[in-house]
A and B are shown apart, each in its own frame.
Chain A
């Protein structure tokens, strides 16, 4: 569970950086000059070696933790949110790699290269628009990943009741405004390239520096991509191995006559999802929300022991002595009988205010 906390923190850090970047892009709606003027404030701090190191570490840790948690899955039965997050997360590094490598390495490989917005916008809008298309996809993918992550974390907090109405619109206004800024600034850059020969010469000169180092940068990217691909494949391999390892079958009997069958070692929630048993799971099996909790009627010793984290969540939502979190309790014995405590339509409010959903 500490790993999940770390993943959250690194994710938030990355999101902070992206938000600053986007805010800087928004200023393009005003002018290119405004973007450049605010750059030291919005993005400059991240050039500080300490923060830059922190950022790179965060990105690496976040990716590694994502891959690790993928490999630690026991089955493909997961919530829609998880599917979306997994897919978006997996495609982000390859899409973003180019931009990140050029930004961070160009300065170090080529002396006195100034990575201004004007420079990059000129590249994107005029010299090689292919990169721009890639970056636009990245904006969408990264921001959706971040928004889904932030939302599913915040929505469980009591705080959400007060700020929820504001957060969602802001979450979507940021990328939309940033993209509009990007388009407006692009228009300005294209005009400036056509009408300002001095500036154009400066940009081209600068560009030549980077073109010289394209080959080593490309080679670096290829190597990173290769490593990443291998990591993803090995994570998938571990997942496959875990799925095929134990093929003994167990069964769960629910209230209302539902029943589920599946491999031994799956959690009760995974068995529910795989067998079309309606079962609430607001936090997507993170063990945070407590909506999936079940009352164990029989076969309590067929379940994996309770972790301290599970006990904490159970205590927080005021669960009884025989209650378990279906997402944490794995079925290791042959059969177990449970009653779902909350209706399947329980939403995040059941996590925020468990007392309102307590069964009379």
Chain B
């Protein structure tokens, strides 16, 4: 079918439809008056009285059952209504609880009323009428429950959408009026058509209901969305009004198109407002990531729901749709599948990224505190995890999308397998390095700023940790790049504490006990010193270690935090030297006393 013939057909259909509408408008009112007159006449008979009696009975039964229900459920509903709420997010849970309680009551009412209608023998056609009327009532009440949940007129604490208090009531009234008109247009004309056979009257009623509802929606668009509350990005009111007009015009051309256009318009309108709606829930939070996830999910759900409702309205048999021959439909369904996959991947990715980023943002930047940095490990591993998961998710998404589109991915996977094996042989060392690295880091073998010695005799301060290598700065300057695979046993000299020992040779004639006490005193002074003291874990102590000819060797020992031992040792020497000088004791001078026997 070419484009031209298709347009011609559409135009013809439209012309026909407009002619029918015109006839409805001309003949409808008179026919409607007839229908109303005959209904009145029918009500004024015994039949009418009986039908009305039954209706009153149904209402009483419904009300009675619901009352019984509420005499139990009222306290729960009040509790939900009066729950403390400070934000829309807190209001959502009690709001939903109340919503379901009321829904339950409505359901009981509907079931009781409709169920009781089976007990009576109705005049012809009346039962249909009564059930339609009950359903009409149920639809209105349902709409009210939803409006009360979302807009909560009169109860700003429980409101779920950003609407000012004074306007919520009006908006609720308008919403109810629109629902009323639409359900009137849905239920009444059908009955008029079927029971009275008055198709023009039905058409007229439909036209009147849809036109009025569209006018109300137009008014809503301008009154409620015309005001600028923030920097205007685009004319919201105008776009909304345009959508209403589009849907209405499509309805004038064909009811089916009208329904589709209305659903489309609703989806677009929701998409326009969705950002504000979702972010309203997190208005107190700084966190922007969670609302973004919810927003993208909500956007997708809205589109999917729109498609679903459209399928229901068109009465498209979903089962046969899946097996449809038309390549266009199949492609469409597959695209929906791919979109779902993309959304899922997106949500997983955002969740992962958020978790990683949040952990990373809590890690202080390296170098802000003394000593080896415990955060360096996370700073290495987390970005690595982020990149890896991104690549993994992307690959999975591409593969599953190809599969969802109906492309055969087994050869791709098999090919990837072969290439993988080839690459694997070549990249054996690389893989070994990377995996070994992951384990070194996971086991916290070293951190940036620590002095380590590897099994291959390279040593130095860890300067940089990458995916494959660790960079060690030797104390003389050279920088070693050691692949993890070659790291072997790691000797980390920067962990927890170090013990430093040094010898003190003194002349053999000194008093060992005095010296020991002197060293201990020096140690106590050092521990109390504000500069050296904090680095020390155990104070300096010394004791006689060995006596050599002419020399007494005292061994001194202290324990410090790693990396401080050299400074502390220098201090210790300095203080001991000063103390010895005060005692008048010199170091063993190494002079050998040679006694020469004079020749006799």
Contact = CB atoms under 8 A, between A and B. Distances in A.
Interface of A: 124-126, 128-130, 132-133, 136-137, 139-140, 143-144, 164, 168-169, 171-172, 175-176, 179-180, 182-183, 186-187, 190, 256, 276, 278, 280, 343-347
Contact of A133 (B52, B63, B71, B156): B52
Contacts of B60: 140, 143, 172, 175-176, 179
A276 B154 contact: yes
Nearest to A340: B82
Interface of B: 43-46, 48-50, 52-54, 56-57, 59-61, 63-64, 67-68, 71, 74-76, 78-79, 81-82, 84, 154-157
B48 A133 contact: yes
B46 A126 contact: yes
A186 B75 contact: no
A133 B43 contact: yes
A169 B56 contact: no
A186 B61 contact: no
Nearest first, the 4 closest Cβ-Cβ pairs linking A and B are A278-B82, A172-B64, A344-B82, A345-B79
Contact of B43 (A125, A129, A182, A187): A129
* Interface of chain B: mostly helix, strand, loop or mixed: helix
Given A140-B59, A140-B60, A347 B74 contact: yes
Chain B CB within 10 A, most for which of A128, A136, A164, A183 = A183
Nearest to A132: B49
Contact of A136 (B56, B68, B74): B56
B56 A256 contact: no
Contact of A276 (B52, B54, B76, B155): B155
A155 B71 CA distance: 10
Contacts of B49: 124-125, 129, 132-133, 136, 186
B68 A139 contact: no
A355 to B, nearest CB: 18
The interface centre, meaning the residue of B52, B68, B74, B157 with most chain A CB atoms within 10 A of its CB, is: B52
A168 B67 contact: yes
A180 B64 contact: no
A345 B46 contact: no
Contacts of B45: 129
Contacts of B63: 144, 172
B6 to A, nearest CB: 54
Contact of A187 (B48, B50, B78, B154): B50
A256 B84 contact: yes
Given A129-B43, A347-B74, A169 B68 contact: yes
A180 B116 CA distance: 12
Nearest to B62: A172
A186 B57 CA distance: 15
Given A179-B53, A276-B157, 17 more contacts: A126-B46, A129-B43, A132-B49, A133-B48, A133-B52, A136-B56, A168-B67, A172-B60, A176-B60, A176-B64, A179-B56, A183-B54, A190-B46, A276-B154, A280-B78, A345-B78, A346-B75
Contacts of A190: 46
A176 B67 CA distance: 15
Contacts of A176: 57, 60-61, 64
A99 to B, nearest CB: 15
A175 B76 CA distance: 29
A283 to B, nearest CB: 14
A278 B57 CA distance: 35
Nearest to B50: A183
B166 to A, nearest CB: 13
B93 to A, nearest CB: 15
